[in-house]
Structure 1
């Protein structure tokens, strides 16, 4: 049964050491099709949703899908899709073979707005250039498709940022993700945007920091709170900046971490000695 209307469908031949792209397609789901049944492939696949919404099922897990969502699938992974109530999804599909891709895990993640906008521009450029009958593409189109794949695989953690297209260690990606943690975002939001399951993400973060995600974010909040208080910011402003907008709750939380009230840290300035910890022990991270 036909499930898609193809807006762009090409048998592509792009080959580099360790990588071969053989199909690039942009599909719009037909209105009468509400779901794509579970299936798997012998090759790796990246799905990038350009429009629409739904639920992606991957290897027994489920994730919400919207514009910018990326699904990275190694060979042999069962996956399915259930459409949402809004307009039919439009999805970019790239089928490829990547050396050691079976060592990677399936991931659902999200591109930022800038990345998604760049992908749309490259796809428009590719669609305007012909593909030879044997699958050869021009140099410019090949470069655009490789950049699209690289952006998606980086977001999924299959490549380390700054690599030249070779699979990298996941720890490099995790460290970069950790460095960009938004202190104001709830933990559920951080987990969802990472594309990993919570337990697995906690293991990755703990391997790099020795702390769970919640503990590490609490430590980052404490460091930022001290920095902002030392600059003389009002306690209410500091509380909001670190994602704890209830000033009373923030004051209790800060005292639990340091044994001191936030007011003791106000205006200390950089390089000033820290107030003595009356608790007589190490700082507690929760």
Structure 2
């Protein structure tokens, strides 16, 4: 069964399990880096958007043997949660004081998201862009968030700088940065990996959830602390939107080779919607800032 057939059959199965007043439609949403993804959108006569469910991951589960009926049951249960969250969003977005403690930022590729940035408040960061979201729910099963648009700023009568200040504070609390030796991270993924990786002087900078963890490079104090730990300047390789790799300056690999590594990983190991950048960055301890080498 191809993806299109899967979507149609799943839509029919989900529809049969919903109450008669709720309908579901297949929609295409342009996400990060301009990548389109298929979603099921839930609606009632009173509300034309009760939430959406991304189908890409479910198709992968189906190809791995998960029954269509089981997927449909999961989506119906998730829809009930989305219904309550959509009501929460509608309420929260009417009052800035209700959301200010849940505003976070994300870091995206500016060039790949030119169209998406036209209606979203954002700030430039090197050749990237900082965008803003409201965290609705954070649990062991994942993170649910809602994007902030210019229309929200107008309604709240606040500016982008205010959003950024909130996100700076909230991000450290909600998604505190983490720094781990790359050998430890690799051994969690591949327990029997060779011990030679213990000799690799590189670190993974992210957050505990590995959720949009590349935003950790937005914290000046975090970057300074890493420099103090290493006692030298360092390179930052954007492994994805979820994490970056820190290479001390003594690593003795030419910048061109590090860039080539980032580009190779992006091409063969990272989903198109999760690519952050195709080149490395450099932290200068004396200047106290991250820059493009």
For normalisation by structure 2, the TM-score amounts to 0.33
For normalisation by structure 1, the TM-score amounts to 0.34
Higher helix share: 2
